[in-house]
Structure 1
Amino acid sequence: MFNRAHDFTIRGGTFNNAGRDLNLSIYEERGLRSLYHYTSTSASFDAGARYPPPLCHPGTRTAILQDLERWANTPTGPGNPKVRWLYGPAGAGKSAIAQTFTQTCANNETLIGSFFFWRSDSTRNNS
């Protein structure tokens, strides 16, 4: 069904396969369950293992948060790569900035990907 497929997203578990005079609808969760086995659930922005998540205090770090929002809402191009890396020393606020930005995107229904690395996560080397 996915032979030579690219640039697609799996949502839910309803698969429709049509060919010639046959229409077949199958609800299948096995594929998603297989993927879940290899997922680092503690790395998602809303992981319960990180509750409460680090957040920026209201009114702080506004310049970097506005810059990230502009970047996320600008089409991809030579001057706007779609990968952003936050770096800095421990305790500089990288996690709070990333968490605040990710939650803002989720609230605005802006699609982004995030992966949170936690030093205390015992499963982090298995993702």
Structure 2
Amino acid sequence: AMHDSSERDLPPSCHPKTRLKVIETIIAWIEDADPLVDILWLHAPFGYGKSAVMQTAIGILIFFGLRHLFAGAFFFGRNKPGRDLARYLFPTIAYQIAINVPGMRELIDHAMVLDPTLPSKTMEIQLCSIIIKP
């Protein structure tokens, strides 16, 4: 689900003054004009609070008027129909990129016109066709 989806009503967030180092690292990566990696993938064991950390980081960006630095996010949900399936990851991210990043909508639309079956393709093909290439 996207960060502001109704499926995530009352989304988790970090308690004040917790997880500061990881949130600072995420914000620094977002603000870096030339990061070492192009995609930030937060991974940790179940129960670590990954969703809370990312929701807090997104909230900070929006609060400080830095929404333009946010391309997209996807929150998996254990035992949540549709949110527990990886096949929705790249189409959801591509949709958000098309909305949030100027000039990307046309490129992603073009990829979909060239192959309207992309949403049913493998994740590798989706990643290359609607995330990396455009």
TM-score (norm 1): 0.58
TM-score (norm 2): 0.56
Give the equivalent residue in structure 2 for 1:52. 10
**Residue 56 of structure 1 contacts residue 100 of structure 1 at CA under 8 Å; is this kept in 2?**
yes
**Residue 58 of structure 2 contacts residue 70 of structure 2 at CA under 8 Å; is this kept in 1?**
no
Give the equivalent residue in structure 1 for 2:75. 116
AA aligned opposite 1:100: T
RCO greater where, 1 or 2, for CA within 8 Å and sep 6 or more?
Answer: 1
C-alpha distance in 2 between matches for 1:69 and 1:52? 22
For this pair of structures, how many residues does the alignment match?
A: 83
The answer to whether 1:105 aligns with 2:64 is no
User: If each structure's strand is expressed as a fraction of its own residues, which one has the higher value?
Assistant: 1
Give the equivalent residue in structure 2 for 1:34. none
The answer to whether 1:65 aligns with 2:23 is yes
Residue ranges of structure 2 left out of the alignment (5+ in a row) = 89-134
1:16-36, CA deviations, whole angstroms, 9 ceiling, x for partnerless residues? xxxxxxxxxxxxxxxxxxxxx
AA aligned opposite 1:56: C
Moved over 4 A (4+): none
Residue ranges of structure 1 left out of the alignment (5+ in a row) = 1-42
C-alpha distance in 1 between matches for 2:58 and 2:38? 14
Output the aligned Cα RMSD. Answer: 1.6
Equivalences for residues 1-127 of structure 1 within 5 A: 43-77=1-35, 80-107=36-63, 108-109=66-67, 110-124=69-83, 125=85, 127=88
- Paired-residue identity, %: 33
